[in-house]
Amino acid sequence: MRVGHVSILGDRDVIFDADDPDRAYGELVSGLVELVTEDFRVTWVRR
């Protein structure tokens, strides 16, 4: 199921379009926030 469409024009222009913007932007923003804040979240590794 497709919820959005991204077009990249030239070096810097990006266009995002969605059938249901609230749904698409919600998932997009949640994913971006998770990626950007990954280094700041508490994690542990057993050694």
Q: What is the pLDDT of residues 2-37, one digit of tens each?
A: 656 777 887 778 877 777 777 767 777 888 889 999
Phi, psi angle pair for 20, to nearest 5°:
-125, 90
Query: Rounded to whole angstroms, how far apart are CA atoms 32 and 19?
Result: 20
CA gap 45, 32 in Å, rounded: 24
Question: Is 27 a member of any domain?
Answer: yes
How far is 30 from 47, CA to CA, in rounded Å?
Answer: 31
47 occurs within a structural domain: no
Contact 20, 3 (CB under 8 A): yes
Split at pLDDT 50, 70, 90, the class of 46 is very high
The predicted model scores a pTM of 0.43
34 falls within a domain: yes
Residue at 10 is within a domain: yes
- Residue 5 and residue 13 in contact, taking contact as beta carbons nearer than 8 Å: no
